[in-house]
Each structure stands twice: as structure tokens, then as C-alpha cells.
Chains A and B, each alone.
Chain A
């Protein structure tokens, strides 16, 4: 059998997030990293304050 033909994602598909607050993927990734920093800071605070 033949392998399905490789398909290129359109430039539009690659660029658009479809999210109201985050128009670019860069902003989505920054939000994810921000939430990571928030959780690590929270955990550090928990460690420092209650131990």
C-alpha cells in the first residue's frame, strides 16, 4: 500500500491560535512559562513559610 501523501500545514494554521486573549503562539508559550513560574514561586513560598 502507498503511504498517505505528506501534507503541509498552511501558514495560517501554523500562526493562528484561535484564542481571544492570546493571538500568537509566542504569547501562549509565555503564558505557560508564566504559570510555571507562578507555581514554582508558590511552592517555594510554601516551603519557606511553613517549614
Chain B
């Protein structure tokens, strides 16, 4: 990165943080600190909900998913519209009517204190760990590529977000997220335009799609009913609806965003804004990855995108295997490129047979190249005790670094940090709020004044920030980063959703049955996760269904016991 890139990066990050602190100075009472000033319009709520969900991992890793796996990942978002409509109709009016600070307060009012604490504890555990990943994920990718010290990057970005979130509370999160998402969109649109401009001159829009489709990168919808396949229409629509319903409806980091609206209307419209925009937004980010794939059919890509993996292989390359793999990879790429150019010529001349023959040869060469890449990954894994290259996380940043001009590089790195800070600040704000309202004020200091609660909330927010930094400093990479975050959520969200489904829709179930049902259902999800190989998207559905069914069974059993017990 050049000096210009650093000026863009540091200027935008510090500028937004300072603005957030200045705009929200003087937030002293609990209502404005946790709910904001209750004047937030729907557009700001919509952007805030979007910025909270779209972390840096979304923008770093999703194009890599598109590059390697095509558009299929978009199916995970098929549940968003239905889930958000359900929340707008059922969840939001009740949350607003009760004027609660956290979603788990509602569980306390509907059931009892222990169920409220269970819901809040499930949230704190999974979101506390997730907050560590939110800050670790961009740091590990960016430091690997740029050679920055990892620990220092994690600590600096972590402290920056702690400072403005602690200072301004919920409003600081909303105010900064508006500008952060502006930077994110500016960066992504710029990258998209420059990428399109970099594609070969003779390649038309339909040529590009035909080329990507020929390599199976445009397989967006898969109707397979195989539950072991991770991304299908059914897992996205059914499992995805439960995952998104759990996330948007029961995760305090999201609930806190949309209950802070000026009215029910503003909250609903903010949610509907996301229901309409989420799929096209994710589609565009994945398409960016597919276009990078097309671009690299005409430019030599690296054997492994992760520079640390490549460096490790270089250092442990006693037999010269790396040079052989790289040489073979380059040869197959040149063959594929030659055949793609032949395919283009034949296509433009109307020679269908020639086009088919050339494309088949290009596909064969491309498959050979892919086999060499897999061989390199296996060599890495064998040499470094199971380490994987996690190339998906490094595809986009490699393209940015090697193909885009200075200034734009700074803008895009700023976009990644903006995304990290925006979701991180909402998470910390929610963790601090829940700890204060559901534990501190509920268990420790029932007579706490507003000022004491605000002070406690600030301390808890800072504490959770430090916990997240600590977790990030010692975290190890697990699979692809965006999948790791989704898997973590899937394990916990189903049971949380089950608690809320029972609370909203099954009036006859009381606190004790639903509490033990949730404990049993969460245990079941853990057991299944470690013993089955089904797509993680099914776990929210399984957890929710188990919690609902078990609560009905336990309620029926307790009811029968009570009826059969002799009257004293």
C-alpha cells in the first residue's frame, strides 16, 4: 500500500469514529444510550440492519466463494424476505409495545427469570465468540497480504471501535454505520467497475456470462433434496428462513437496531428495505467473484491465493515439487486461455461446432489446472499438519492488490475495515446492553439508577470489546471465515428461536417446560453437529423444532402430573 492508500484508510476510519463521538456527545440517560433518541428514520434503520449483518467477512470472503464455487452461496439468503416479514408482523409490534431494551426481557415477561437468563446467556456466548471472529477475520487476511503485524492490527481496530461505541452507545453505532456503509458501497462499486473495464476488449456481456456459465459458475439455484449438500434451494428457503428468523428476530445486535426507530412504521420499513435488497446485494458480491474468475482466465492467477500458504510451501520445498506444480499450472492456464480465445473467435464467427470443441478443450485444461491447485493444497496440508489454504478469503484482496490503482486500494481496505467496525460496534453495543439489562440490573443491582446503568453498560461494552480482542488474538482459522460465522450462529440460533416461537405462538406452555426443553434441544444440536454431516443450515430448524416439541411434551407431562397429584 502507498502513502495515498494509508491516508484514505486512516482518514476515513478515524474521521467516522470522531464524528460518531462528536454527534452523540452528552448521551447520559439509559433510554437514549441504549435506544438512541428514538428519531431514527427507516432508511437509517435499514442501513444499520444491513451494516450490522454485513461484516468485513462478507466483503472479503464472498467474492472468493463466487470465484471458487459460483453463485450457489446466494441460496443461503433465500430465507431473508420471509423471515423479515414474519418479524415485521409478529415480533416488532410486541417488542415496541413492551418498550423493552433487550429481546430477552420479553422472555422474562412471558415466561420467567430463568428462561430470560437462558436466552440472554445463549446470545452472550455465541455473539461473544462471533465478535472475536468479526474482528479477527479481516485482520488475518489483511495482515497476511500486507505484512502488517496481526496482533497490532487486531488491537488497534478493536480499541477504535470500543472507544466510539462506549462513548456514544446505540446512536453512535447508527450514526457511524451510515457513513461506513457509504464507504463500503463506494469501494465495492468502484472495484466492480474497474474489474469490468479490465476484462478483454473483445469479450461482450453475453460472452462473459457464457464463459462463466460454461465453467459452472452461474449455477445459482440447486433443487437437490440431498441434505448433505450445503447450499440448495430447500436448505436456503427452509433452513435459511429459520436461520434468518433466529438472527434478525432474537439476536440483540439486530433487535437493538430496529426497535430504536422513531415509530413502528420506521422499524417495519427498515426491515422491508433489507428484505428487498439482501438477495440482489449478495448476488452482486458473488457476481464480482465470478467476474474475477473470468478475468483470471485471461491473466495468470497465482497457484494459491493465500500468500502465507505459498510462502510456507516455498520454505519447505526440498524436493522442488512447488516449482513443478507452478510450471504445470502455468502450462495448463496457457492452454486454457488459448482455447478460450479460440472459442471466442468461433463464437463470434458463428461456428458452433468449433466453439463447442474449443470450449471442451478449455474446460479440460481448466480442470487440469484445478487438479494441480488441489494437489498444492494437499501438499500444504501434508507438510503443515492439516493446515488448509482457505483460498476463498484471499481471492478478492489479491485481485485488489495486484490489479487496482493506488487510492482505490486504500478505499477498498477502508471498506473492509468499515464493515468490520460497523458490525463489531453493533455487537458490542448489544452485548453491553444485554449484560446490563438482563444480568446487572436484573440480578446484581435491582435498584440501579439510570446513571449507574449507563456506567455499567459502558464498562460491559468495553469488557466485551476486550474479550473479543482476546479471542481474536488467539483464534485459529476454521474453514472459510464466512462459513465459520454462519456455522457458529446455526448451532445456537435454533434454540433461541424456539424460545421465542413458544413465547409468541403457544400460549399454554409455561416457563419451566420451555426452559428444560431449550436445555435439552441445545444439547441435542451439539450432539447432532458433532455426529452428522448434514448442511449447517438445517440446525436452526432442528433446534427450533426440538425446542417447540419438547416444550409441548414437557408441558403436557407436567400438566398430567399436576392433575394426578392428590390435593393437599
Contacts and interface: CB of A to CB of B under 8 A. Distances in A.
A43 B221 contact: yes
A4 B221 CA distance: 48
Interface stretch (B156-164, B269-277, B381-389, B497-505): B269-277
Contacts of A49: 213
A51 B70 CA distance: 11
A18 B97 contact: no
Interface stretch (B302-310, B448-456, B542-550): B448-456
Contacts of B448: 1
B81 A36 contact: yes
B257 interface: no
Contacts of B85: 29, 32-33
Contact of B263 (A13, A19, A35, A51): A13
B264 A32 contact: no
A1 B450 contact: yes
Chain B interface SS verdict (over half)? helix
Nearest to B287: A46
| From A4, A14, A33, A40, residue with most partner B Cβ within 10 Å | A40
Nearest to A28: B272
A43 B75 CA distance: 10
B99 A6 contact: yes
A36 B210 CA distance: 25
B219 A14 contact: no
Interface in A1-51: 1, 3-9, 13-14, 16-19, 25, 28-29, 31-33, 35-36, 39-40, 43-44, 46-47, 49-51
B91 interface: no
A32 B270 CA distance: 12
A32 B276 contact: yes
B40 to A, nearest CB: 15
Given A6-B99, A39-B283, A43-B74, A14 B218 contact: no
Contacts of B263: 9, 13
Interface in B390-408: none
A9 B280 CA distance: 33
A14 B279 contact: no
Contacts of A13: 263-265
B140 interface: no
B98 interface: yes
B78 interface: yes
Given A1-B453, A9-B263, A43-B71, A36 B272 contact: no
A49 B448 CA distance: 63
B378 interface: no
B329 to A, nearest CB: 26
Contacts of B269: 17, 19, 28
B264 A9 contact: yes
Contacts of A28: 268-269, 272
Interface string B73-106: 0100010011011001100010011110000000
B31 interface: yes
A29 to B, nearest CB: 5
Interface in B174-230: 209-210, 212-214, 216, 218-222
B318 interface: no
A18 B265 contact: yes
Contacts of A19: 269
A46 B276 contact: no
Given A9-B264, A14-B93, A39-B280, A47 B209 contact: no
A25 B89 CA distance: 9
A43 B220 contact: yes
B467 to A, nearest CB: 27
Given A6-B98, A44-B221, A51-B218, A32 B268 contact: no
B50 to A, nearest CB: 15
Contacts of B276: 31-32, 35
Nearest to A33: B81
A51 B216 contact: yes
B447 A1 contact: yes
Contacts of B441: 1
A47 B212 CA distance: 11
Contacts of B264: 9, 13-14
Given A29-B85, A39-B279, A43-B221, A17 B78 contact: no
Contacts of B93: 9, 14
Contacts of B82: 33, 36
A47 B220 contact: yes
| From A4, A16, A35, A46, residue with most partner B Cβ within 10 Å | A46
Nearest to A18: B265
Interface of B: 30-31, 71, 74, 78, 81-82, 84-85, 88-89, 93, 96-99, 209-210, 212-214, 216, 218-222, 263-265, 268-269, 272, 275-276, 279-280, 283, 441, 447-450, 453
23 contacts: A1-B441, A1-B450, A1-B453, A9-B96, A9-B263, A13-B263, A13-B265, A14-B93, A29-B85, A29-B272, A32-B272, A36-B78, A39-B280, A43-B71, A43-B220, A43-B283, A44-B220, A46-B209, A47-B221, A50-B212, A50-B213, A50-B218, A51-B219
Closest 10 CB pairs of A and B: A50-B213, A43-B220, A36-B81, A50-B218, A32-B275, A39-B279, A9-B264, A44-B221, A47-B221, A29-B85
